[in-house]
Amino acid sequence: MIRGVRGAITVDCNTEEAITSATEELLKQMIEENTIHPEQVASVFISTTEDLNAVFPARALRKFAGWTYVPVMCMRELPVPNSLQMCVRIMLHVNTAVPQEEIVHVYLGGATVLRPDLGNTLAK
């Protein structure tokens, strides 16, 4: 079964270093909390708000051993009025037998406001 593992993080400024560092932090937490191995991953979608354009955030994933051949696509988030800005969102599509309610979705920094109903399941 393929499950979606969601995550989001806010970035302090629109620089290559800030975007890459934040994306790496988020990916690391998502991977660790869900014990994900690259061979389980069908694909990864990464979106950014339109104010983040200094680098493709997918570069951060290439720093992880074994993730070279995982398909990744970067895209722009819809510019909805009054929505959270300076935000990177990630959706990992993972082959797993873990039940939907046991998937750990990770929201860091200012992105914790995006899904308060999940209670930031990282805190389990």
Q: One of 3, 25, 33, 74 is an active-site residue; which one? A: 74
Q: One of 6, 13, 32, 59 is an active-site residue; which one? A: 6
Q: One of 3, 33, 77, 101 is an active-site residue; which one? A: 77
Asked if 87 is an active-site residue, the reply is no
Asked if 62 is an active-site residue, the reply is yes
Asked if 3 is an active-site residue, the reply is no
List of long-range contacts for 26-29, beta carbons under 8 Å, 24+ apart: 26/88, 26/90, 26/106, 26/108, 27/60, 27/61, 27/64, 27/90, 28/64, 29/106, 29/108, 29/122
Enter the tokens of residue 28: 């690391």
Q: One of 17, 32, 62, 102 is an active-site residue; which one? A: 62
What positions carry a catalytic annotation? 6, 62, 74, 77, 89, 107, 115
